[in-house]
A and B are shown apart, each in its own frame.
Chain A
Amino acid sequence: MAAMALKRSRSFPLVLGAVVLVASIALIELMIRGGLINRFIVPLPSQIVMSFERIIVEEDVPARFWLTLREAFWATLLLIVFGIGGGALLHRIHTLRLATETWVAAMASAPTVLMYPLFLVIFGRSANTIIMMGFVAGLAPVILKTLEGLSSTRRVLINVGRSFKLTPAQLYWKILFPAALPTIFVGIKLGMIFALINIVGVEFLINFGGLGQLINELAERYDLPGTYAAICFVILVSVLFFMFIERVERWLIPGD
């Protein structure tokens, strides 16, 4: 009875997720201690946990965390503005869509991170380079998903708008855009993932900025527990962003 009540409770999935996570970590700890995983490649999870305090104090993690978070925020903001704007433009201008859609799709699979020297020349060795690299890497999915969302709006909803004599602008803001929002959010989440990977990657490559640079430095010192602890902070940035975007999504699409 108690087990059934627990399964029905709202917090059950959260508790289950936490239990699975802790069990997986414990399993890895056991595998390393048992010699199944080489401890010179993967440090003990307990060592990683112990190194959190050290790297927070000695490596100034809060400032680095904040810098990476800020870079991710600005890149995401640019993605939202230019990605949704670009998608809407391609939806509006059919010829432009026909001319560029394939290129935009091709851009999604291009390893733009390799273009970092060009961005260094344009923006200098600064956070701007990192933000722009993140933005460019995540742009294509946002454009494509916005275009897909707008194009797949059900015909009947558009006809409802037309029957109420909506102006083109009203049709866009009151029907097309809200109908496309669930698909647009898929694009934003994908874009954000690409952006964050590139932000940390470029920080690592150019040895500048936040958590990526810290990972680089700790790896060069062969401080494995510290390196993995820093990676955990990158995951934390990603989780925080995801939670924030999901909150915004639930607020904007309440009936979904």
Chain B
Amino acid sequence: MSVASLNRAHDGSAAVDPANAILVVDNITKRFETPDGVLTALDDVSLNVAPGEFLGVIGPSGCGKSTLFNVIGGLTDGYDGRVTVAGETVKGPHASIGMVFQEESTFPWRTVIDNVAFPLEVAGLAKAQRYEKARHFVNLVGLDGFERRYPAELSGGMRQRVSMARTLASEPKILLMDEPFASLDEQTRLLLGDKVLQIQQELKQTTLLITHNITEAVQLSDRILVMTYRPGKVKRIVDIDLPRPRTSEIVSSEAFGRYVAQIWSDLREEASQGMRDDETRTRQAGEKR
């Protein structure tokens, strides 16, 4: 099978009908004031996500991936366009959206079980109830036996699983993950990818994964949205037609390699542009000094 027959490239958000989408990102443009003038981080970005879908968002550093994450999660305002979840416009943090952050975000003063039970505590659940529920999510991410441990006693990968379990415990309609495994080594990243796939299949969880790792994106996603470098636009959407259920073993398949090569050829130009821009900025900053 050739890459051309495996992939269908789309312009913008044509792949999922907005009427059937659980998440609709509609013409989002976000600008920032910087000392060098106005920076357009996102330019007219649109995408639709179907219920239960796993969408990967990939792009070079500085393309606005995290800005998109913050816009969808309701952590950023002051943008043009609209984000809706199940028909409801997002105007701030939304109970339907659960966020897993790139940086280590467990609460060091809470045990694993208390970290996971945090959203349930905020929701006002009784202690016994929230512990019972939290234990289910601790088991789901494979951390049973570590309930009474503190984050400082866990590895980086285990801490990220605690963060994921904590977010899943709030039972969001959409799980939003911003490069959750960026700080981990490649092997751990692949194995945690397996865990994410297993959880996603078990919960039928709609998931949006923001990443700059092509392997991770192809391993996990049903579709991958490729973004351009500054201003961040949708360059194309690639359907990943690999069989499910998947495991990390899929990375050794021929089709997987073709997808990776295809997406890299899309990204290469954007990443090169990013590098050139970085060099220019560094040179200019040096000249100013």
Contacts and interface: CB of A to CB of B under 8 A. Distances in A.
B150 A164 contact: no
Interface string A175-194: 10011010000000000000
Task: Give the one of A164, A166, A174 with max B CB within 10 A.
Answer: A164
Contacts of B75: 159, 162-163
A239 interface: no
Nearest to A253: B109
B105 A157 contact: yes
Contacts of B101: 156, 159-160
Contacts of B152: 255-256
Interface residues of B, number: 28
Q: How large is the interface on A (under 10, 10 to 19, 20 to 34, 35 or more residues)?
A: 20 to 34
A165 B83 CA distance: 17
A163 B107 CA distance: 14
A56 B108 CA distance: 46
Contact of B73 (A163, A166, A179): A163
B95 to A, nearest CB: 6
B97 interface: yes
A166 B122 CA distance: 7
B156 interface: no
A105 B149 CA distance: 39
Contacts of B95: 165
Most B CB contacts (10 A, CB to CB) among A175, A254, A255 go to A255
Dominant secondary structure of chain B at its interface with chain A: loop
Contact of B110 (A159, A162, A255): A255
Interface in B66-106: 73-75, 93-95, 97-99, 101, 103-105
A165 B94 CA distance: 7
B150 A254 contact: yes
B60 interface: no
Interface string A122-163: 000000000000000000000000000000001011011011
Interface string B25-54: 000000000000000000000000000000
Contacts of B167: 163
A178 B151 CA distance: 15
Contacts of B170: 164
B150 A163 contact: no
A169 to B, nearest CB: 12
Interface string B137-164: 0000000000000111000000000000
A119 B166 CA distance: 53
B119 interface: yes
A202 B162 CA distance: 52
Contact of A163 (B98, B103, B109): B98
Nearest to B103: A156
A170 interface: yes
Contacts of B229: none
Interface string B100-142: 0101110111110000001101100000000000000000000
Nearest to B123: A164
B36 to A, nearest CB: 23
Given A154-B103, A255-B151, A165 B93 contact: yes
A175 B107 contact: yes
Contacts of A256: 108-109, 152
B103 A164 contact: no
A175 to B, nearest CB: 7
A37 B103 CA distance: 58
A170 B109 contact: no
B150 A255 contact: yes
Contacts of B74: 163
Nearest to A163: B99
B118 A164 contact: yes
Contacts of B118: 164, 174
A208 B257 CA distance: 84
A14 to B, nearest CB: 24
Contacts of B110: 255
Interface of B: 73-75, 93-95, 97-99, 101, 103-105, 107-111, 118-119, 121-122, 150-152, 166-167, 170
Given A156-B103, A165-B95, 5 more contacts: A159-B99, A174-B122, A254-B109, A255-B150, A256-B109
11 contacts: A154-B103, A159-B75, A159-B99, A160-B166, A163-B75, A165-B93, A165-B122, A174-B122, A178-B107, A254-B150, A256-B152
